[in-house]
Amino acid sequence: MEKISIATAQFEHRSGDKAYNLDVIERMTANAALQGARAIAFHECSITGYTFARRLSKEQMLELAEPIPEGPSVKRLAAISGKYGVAVLAGLFEKDEKGRLFKAYVCVDKNGVVAKFRKLHPFINPHITPGSEYCVFDLFGWKCGILICYDNNIIEHVRATRLLGAEIIFMPHVTMGTPSPRPGAGFIDPRLWENREADPTSLRLEFEGMKGRQWLMKWLPARAYDNGVYCVFSNAVGMDDDQVRNGRSMIIDPFGDILSECTELGEQFVMATLIPEKLQQAGGYRYIQARRPELYRDIIGQEHRPEQKVAWMTGK
């Protein structure tokens, strides 16, 4: 296994405008290729847009969603990958032959879909079916996994993906700037985004404070550190329907250290070189080897009825 250069991106998607979003994905992929990236990761539902879907009927969702791999958006991603020689990871709403809807994320190369993952904990629209399996796949000699947004907040999902062999976990999000019982959380005033050129400081204070980056730093580096894994975090930036997202796409190494991070108030990608030696040098590798599952197998595996509450969706 050799070192690999990965890019992670942020941009302001347009709700329901797949053509526009794919054009942005192509432009950013082209630029990443010029800098030597082998793969570039975009955010959750970067092709379709995200939060506006909370108001869509099932019929509207079926119109927006596409089959995978035969849908036009995946074919466009394959064309982009083939043109620039870069694997592309992006998200969209999926529909299957039974009319079921999923929140999907794909890794695509010039030949089509390399891997597809369905979000395990979707909530943006009641007609979406939860995914039911993990995803680990080969990419340029590395074992990679995918977990979408809320999935990463359930620590068992990250550990399970790592135990299945993932050395890189792609973590696409549309997050931050949302209410929560957590102190300091809340929406970001859209007027700050609109006025970002005249007053970038006020927006940065929100982006970097408890509504944004400070919350992310409470848990994201820990996922990488505890599991001795590379984490590629991608997030939307700017207006997502009527809400503001703060980007901060970043790549974290198995030591829990940030290798590169988007800091612009707008479209940007950053790159990092992933070194295989770190996977076994990191503390997380030793902790995994030292596990004693006989002590907690029955505890972790006991019957449990999932109860998912998302404060900014429920108002509680």
pLDDT tens readout for residues 211-270: 999 999 999 999 999 999 999 999 999 999 999 999 999 999 999 999 999 999 999 999
**CA-based end-to-end distance of the chain:** 47
In a domain, 308, yes or no: no
Question: What gap in Å lies between CA 26 and CA 19, rounded to an integer?
Answer: 11
In a domain, 316, yes or no: no
Three-state SS at 40: strand
pLDDT tens readout for residues 112-165: 999 999 999 999 999 999 999 999 999 999 999 999 999 999 999 999 999 999
Question: What gap in Å lies between CA 191 and CA 195, rounded to an integer?
Answer: 6
Cβ contact 28:40 at 8 Å: yes
State the residue range of the domain holding 121: 4-302
**Could you write out the DSSP letters of every residue in 233-264?**
EEE-EEEETTEEEE---EEE-TTS-EEEE--S
Amino acid at position 92, single letter: L
In a domain, 55, yes or no: yes
Three-state SS at 212: coil
In a domain, 136, yes or no: yes
What percentage of the chain reaches a pLDDT higher than 70?
98
Closest-CA residue to 103 (of 38, 150, 55, 155): 150
Exposed, middle or buried by CB within 10 Å (0-12, 13-18, 19+), for 202? middle
In a domain, 121, yes or no: yes
Burial 266-305 (b: 16+ CB within 10 A, else e): ebbbbbbebbeebbeebebbeebeeeeeeeeeeeeeeeee
Amino acid at position 144, single letter: C
Peptide bond into 72 cis (omega under 30): no
pLDDT band per the 50, 70, 90 thresholds, residue 310: confident
Question: What gap in Å lies between CA 259 and CA 3, rounded to an integer?
Answer: 14
In a domain, 239, yes or no: yes
In a domain, 313, yes or no: no
The total number of structural domains in the chain stands at: 1
In a domain, 250, yes or no: yes
What is the domain-level CATH number for residue 247?
Answer: 3.60.110.10
pLDDT at residue 314, rounded to an integer: 52
Question: What gap in Å lies between CA 190 and CA 186, rounded to an integer?
Answer: 12
pLDDT at residue 316, rounded to an integer: 44
Residue 150 CA to its chain's centroid (Å): 9
Question: What gap in Å lies between CA 64 and CA 72, rounded to an integer?
Answer: 12
